Structure 1
């Protein structure tokens, strides 16, 4: 077990509370502040890739609530979600150099790591449960239909990954958060710092393009 929310803080010396927004100018537009926040998260990731523990601590404080929220949505267990959160941040620290701001936002990159870790945890738990339930059938030959079904599922997963790769970066971000992360349109807009209408448009256009790429009929 990796531990509770203090684990990453103790490793990287994160401050005890969320960072205080800089600058006294309250007259900046929401879009300006959102753009600055997005750019700042990307800068923190890039500094983290160079071993800047203070930048990583600030990144953790700025994003941990959203990261943990996604983990809870997927694994449905608070204790498991805490472990997934810590695993995701540890991987983020190790692989921050792979972040490319030209391919998407920092929060989308981070959420992708969290979602993958959470899904891996769910799959591992399901696999363990299946092993327990079917232990007495372990030497039984695999039915042909089961093999065919597994092959079909693998092919479908490959088709989805290929289709996702055909989307634009902004469409892929929105679709991933909405349909892999389980977020509502409003929540996706908040995560990507976009107007709700823009988020809905990106999700809709991404789904249309995804459907066309997969050859799904009207």
Structure 2
């Protein structure tokens, strides 16, 4: 039997309901919810300022109240105060969680931006270096350029290049050596 509204909020009523909740009485838990949920929701919403989050936190608070009902001690404070304290802590925890999540997202976004910026910077540097090498390769004679391209871009051995170009191995070695020497000079590479 549910008491009238004026009796619902009385300390004596809430203590008797809480004692039954501590014993696992689901009907008593429903009565506790009916008597206190408006107050708890108001406190939670004041902290969170978000209807959906407040509803989630209210549900979490009541789960905690159900699980910890046996730990309530009447001599240490009122039932409503105990419930409000649990609800307020849940709301503050959610604020901290949301803030930490937002900070993680910002940090990750900044990191990804920096990485993408670094990637662009690296890509530009590589492209500029490749253009510089292409210009230097254009200054080689056709035999040197072909032998170097087969060796360094094609991955062929000097013997394979000799077969592909139908040249003696010594000629291929000389073209590669002379071509690389000329490239080092053109590119300003010191050895």
TM-score, length-scaled by structure 2: 0.54
Q: Can you list the C-alpha shifts for 1:128-165, whole angstroms capped at 9, x where unaligned?
A: 11111122359xxxxxxxxxxxxxxxxxxxxxxxxxxx
Structure 1 residue 110 corresponds to structure 2 residue 89: no
Q: Structure 1 stretches of 5 or more lacking a match?
A: 1-14, 23-29, 139-218
Relative to structure 1, the CA distance from residue 91 to residue 118 in structure 2 (aligned partners, 3 Å threshold; closer, same or farther) is same
Larger Rg: 2
Q: 1:69 aligns with which of 42, 65, 69?
A: 42
Structure with bigger helix share is 2
Q: What stretches of structure 2 of length at least 5 have no aligned partner?
A: 113-191
Secondary structure of 1:51's counterpart equals coil
Count of matched residue pairs: 111
Is it true that 1:21 corresponds to 2:4 in the alignment? yes
Q: Which has the higher contact order (CA 8 A, sep 6+)?
A: 1
Give the alignment's TM-score, normalised by structure 1.
0.47
Task: Find the counterpart in structure 2 of residue 128 from structure 1.
Answer: 101
Moved more, 115-124 or 36-45: 36-45
RMSD between superposed Cα atoms in Å: 2.4
Q: 1:47 aligns with which of 20, 24, 32?
A: 20
User: Post-superposition shift, 1:20?
Assistant: 4.3
1:38 and 2:38 matched: no
Q: Is the partner of 2:24 in helix, strand or coil?
A: coil
